[in-house]
Amino acid sequence: MPDLCDLLPAVVPEPPPLSPVAAEHYARLFGELRDEFVQRTSQGRMSDAESREWARLEHAHRVVLMLLAGLDGELSELANRAWRELPEPERVAIKQEARTARAGFSRLFAMTGRW
């Protein structure tokens, strides 16, 4: 009787590339699974997209957004707060500034290239 290890191929072949439709489906599926995981593990504290984006943003970028949005006070301390802990007027101002920054930075190509 042959050894089972002799029956296995020495090199596992690469899977065929995914079609664009399958790649989009898997990206959406894994994104939904990630969102569900985040919601369950954080007990709902980070269940919305704005909270996740704020949490992923680097501290320095949070401070700069707050500064550009015209917020005052101890910005470094405020930047440590969760998104939903910020008062509604401050969140609205930060979101407006983020939209403005997104439009402005979308025109950068040469400065953001890695060549």
Residues 10-54 pLDDT 10s: 777 788 888 989 888 888 888 788 777 766 776 655 557 888 899
Calpha distance 57→79 (Å, rounded): 10
Calpha distance 93→53 (Å, rounded): 16
Looking at every residue in the chain, the average pLDDT score rounds to 85
Amino acid residing at 67: L
Calpha distance 38→86 (Å, rounded): 20
